[in-house]
Structure 1
Amino acid sequence: MLTLLAVSAASAIGAPARYLLDRTIAGRRTSRLPLGTMTINLTGAFLLGLLTGLAVHHGMPKGMLAMLGTGFCGAYTTFSTFSYETMRLVEDGSIAEAGTNVAVSLLAGTAAAALGLGLALIV
């Protein structure tokens, strides 16, 4: 029950953090690419990789991983918005931008997670 409360509390921080960061980036963007969602998902992938590495290699408690990984990162990152924004680009005829969004999000997201995991190995 304590873990559920911790995950819920961290979720209550992750979702507003995502909203505020997306609004900040969206207000400054000049590109058709959804840079807010991309930034959020990349930083979230890095953080989750780091947290996973700390849990696996440094014994971070499972409850802490659940709170920060599932709670914060789960509420902070957003696959559904990534999918929606990609489809909106396709519907608007911005096929190249949609492809760029998918490629950058998947490749850079995987690299960011690996970087976070790698960083956990050296700390």
Structure 2
Amino acid sequence: MIKQLLLVGLGGGIGSIFRYLTSMLTVKYYANTFPLATFITNIIGCFIIGLLIGYFSNTNPDNSLKLLFITGFCGGYTTFSTFAAENISLLQNQNYLTLIAYTLASVLVGFLAVGFGLMITK
């Protein structure tokens, strides 16, 4: 159990660092009401998890790799709670069009990114 927790923690820490870097790079080049940094992070995370699930289903690796990369890295990298909080902020600020566009785009493009990641590994 300790080994599994350490793997998830290690992957989560690395994922969180990559999330921070993605956010900083995005904000550096784009500033607007649309929460692009979280959107990009979540779509990249969806794509990565699709790749990993597809790859792992073909190779049947040790469960440690799944814990490290899927539960840990992808869990630390993506952020549904930030997505939800940003949507509440958009609602409170009456940015209704951005709220609808962000929510729909996140769900639809995220779904497509997971599917694309899976497709690549087939």
TM-score tier after normalising by the smaller chain length: over 0.9
Instruction: Give the match for residue 90 of structure 1.
Output: 91
Counterpart position of 2:79: 78
Superposed displacement of residue 68, structure 1: 0.2
Query: Is the deviation greater in 23-32 or in 93-102?
Result: 23-32
Matching residue of 1:100:
101
Q: Kindly tell me the number of residue pairs found equivalent between the two proteins.
A: 121
Matched, 1:58 2:37: no
Deviation of 1:36 after TM superposition, in Å, equals 0.3
Deviation at residue 30 of structure 1 after TM alignment: 3.7
Per the normalisation by structure 1, the TM-score is: 0.92
Q: Partner of 1:28 in structure 2?
A: 29
Q: Deviations over 1:3-42 (max 9, x none)?
A: 2211111111111211121122112214321000000000
Q: Distance in 1 between matches of 2:100 and 2:85?
A: 13
Can you give the 5+ residue segments of structure 2 that lack an aligned partner in the other structure?
A: none
Query: What's the Cα RMSD here?
Result: 1.1
Counterpart residue identity of residue 8, structure 1: G
TM-score computed with the length of structure 2 as normaliser: 0.93
**Identical pairs, percent:** 31
Give, in whole Å, the separation in 1 of the partners of 2:80 and 2:121: 25
Contact 1:45 1:113 in 2 (8 A): yes
Question: Could you give the per-residue CA deviations for residues 72-102 of structure 1, whole angstroms, max 9, x where no partner exists?
Answer: 0001000000011111111111100000000
1:44–1:77 Cα contact (<8 Å) kept: yes
**CA distance in structure 2 between the partners assigned to 1:60 and 1:118 by the alignment:** 19
Moved over 4 A (4+): none
